[in-house]
Structure 1
Amino acid sequence: MTNRTALITGAAKRIGKFIAIHMAKNGFNIAIHYNSSKSEAIDLQTKLGNQFPNQKFKIFKCDLHCTEDVEGLIDRVLLHFEKIDVLINNASVFDSGVIRETSVKLFQEQMSVNFLAPFILSRDYALNSINGLIVNLLDTRIANNSSSHAAYSLSKVGLGHLTKMSALEFAPAIRVNGIAPGATLPPEDQGVEYLLRIAKKTPMKIPGGIDPVLQSLDYILENQNLTGQILFCDGGGQLL
């Protein structure tokens, strides 16, 4: 039996890496997308290849800021894999700035990576797939009006709406769902106390970490009647 294949954007580091390892453990081949993290992507490919020798792991460089680059990614992946069973739009850029501080350049950077790239990949995936699944990584911020990361939040709001719009258009062949975490991993220059501090502001009062994201992903993978849904795994943060 042929292993299923997942294309994961931003798979070399942080949440994307955890998702890649988790899906490999569940029998998936992984198309590992990266942009500037080549050494991390190679390390992940080697680690997974050694641990799961009967599965296939291939790295793909693509600059998600570049429309032409993004438009070729699905075709490049399909040269190496028979089909893509799951597309996970995980990669994102996360820059702060209230509306008054947001330059056109900052706005365009957030939109190009966080919204336009997933739009293109979802479109091209649908054009090249008989059936399948798309999972978009969102953010609990889509449920509030905080402008601390205005362009980032707007890009994720757009991706949330795309999740529902594409779920309707692509059904019944392709399911489309989203996962909206709260604080999942601390910034690289901070420790777990960062997550504890954020968690205290949520109804559940406990840091989620990566497990709620992976559990939400498993639910989406297993529930064949689930589409157009956004699973908030944020300790109730979206209620505030």
Structure 2
Amino acid sequence: MNTIVVSGASRRFGLMVAERYLKLGWQVIALSRQSSAELDTLVAQGVLWIACDYEDKGSVLKALGQIEQRVKSIQLLVHNASYFAVDSTDFDAWDQLERFNRVHVQAPALMNYQLQPLLTNLDQPGLIVHLSDIFADRPRAAHARYCSSKAALENLTKSLALKWAPGIRVNSIQPGPVKFLPSHSEADKARVLAETPLGYEAGFEPLLKALDYLVDNQFVTGCSLKVDGGRSIA
């Protein structure tokens, strides 16, 4: 049985990934700080939930130990956990940047390195997918700290793709405005869609299709796949 480990799995895209791969017959290990009613439903159907806070090294190491106790190989590792915020105007740049880096760089890197033996397979390479952002390449002034951490995640993608080939493939998906947050106002939505050539909120299905492509195409590594309705070129 194939095994997927997905972080940020209690809601939104991470939850959809867990549900999708459960239906495909995979063993699903779902990581999140807390569970949710929706994730609890999947747990009742066979998903294994492990509490994991990507901001806390001890929590990540504890989750890694539980994963290593339960499986002998991993075919797919999806880093979906994310932290998003506007740059703070207070004197806490160090603390905020550290939080971005822990979630987007340090925790994924720690998990990648420790799970490398379980992912390595010369016949059918394991796959690591980082959920990045189109603004890793096209940063926004108000989100400099967030964007810089996602840029570091993009570099990690390419560096590890080189380092671990051919036994592991490493790629990223760069979402654009696929699904707005509840905090987005109607004015925010209108502005973003006006900047997007395809001009509509697509939902998470295009991201699932992007993940399917990366899983199915064994000749792709070091790739940053934009799923943004064209916003990155507008």
Provide TM-score, normalisation by structure 1. Answer: 0.87
* 2:52 maps to 1:62: yes
Percent identity among equivalent residues?
A: 29
Could you tell me how far 1:222 is from its partner in structure 2? 0.2
Could you tell me how far 1:18 is from its partner in structure 2? 1.2
Is the 1:185–1:195 Cα contact (8 Å) retained in structure 2? Answer: no
* 2:145 maps to 1:151: yes
* 2:196 maps to 1:202: yes
Q: How many residue pairs are counted as aligned between the two chains?
A: 230
Q: Which residue in the other structure is 1:53 paired with?
A: none
The structure 1 residue matched to 2:80, chosen from 84, 90, 98, is 90
Give 5+ residue unaligned stretches, structure 2.
none
Task: Sort the Cα spacing of 1:188 and 1:205 in 2 relative to 1 into closer, same or farther, 3 A.
Answer: closer
Q: Which residue in the other structure is 1:52 paired with?
A: none
Q: Which residue in the other structure is 2:182 paired with?
A: 188
Report the 3-state secondary structure (helix = DSSP H, G, I; strand = E; otherwise coil) of the residue aligned with 2:70: coil
Task: Sort the Cα spacing of 1:61 and 1:106 in 2 relative to 1 into closer, same or farther, 3 A.
Answer: same
1:33-89 deviations in whole A, cap 9, x for unaligned? 11133555323312xx1xxxxxx4211011211113223423311322332211001
* 2:136 maps to 1:142: yes
Task: Sort the Cα spacing of 1:211 and 1:40 in 2 relative to 1 into closer, same or farther, 3 A.
Answer: closer
Q: What value does the CA root-mean-square deviation take over the aligned residues?
A: 2.2
* 2:13 maps to 1:19: no
1:191-228 deviations in whole A, cap 9, x for unaligned? 88865542221122222221110110000000001100
Q: Aligned partners of 1:232 and 1:148: how far apart in 2?
A: 21
The structure 2 residue matched to 1:105, chosen from 81, 95, 99, is 95
Q: Which residue in the other structure is 1:79 paired with?
A: 69
Provide TM-score, normalisation by structure 2. Answer: 0.89
Is the 1:115–1:159 Cα contact (8 Å) retained in structure 2? Answer: yes
Could you tell me how far 1:178 is from its partner in structure 2? 0.5
1:78-106 deviations in whole A, cap 9, x for unaligned? 32233221100110111111688762111
Q: Aligned partners of 2:90 and 2:51: how far apart in 1?
A: 34
Give 5+ residue unaligned stretches, structure 1.
50-55
Moved more, 69-78 or 24-33: 69-78
Q: Aligned partners of 2:161 and 2:111: how far apart in 1?
A: 14
Could you tell me how far 1:234 is from its partner in structure 2? 0.3
Task: Sort the Cα spacing of 1:16 and 1:190 in 2 relative to 1 into closer, same or farther, 3 A.
Answer: same
Q: Which residue in the other structure is 1:6 paired with?
A: 4
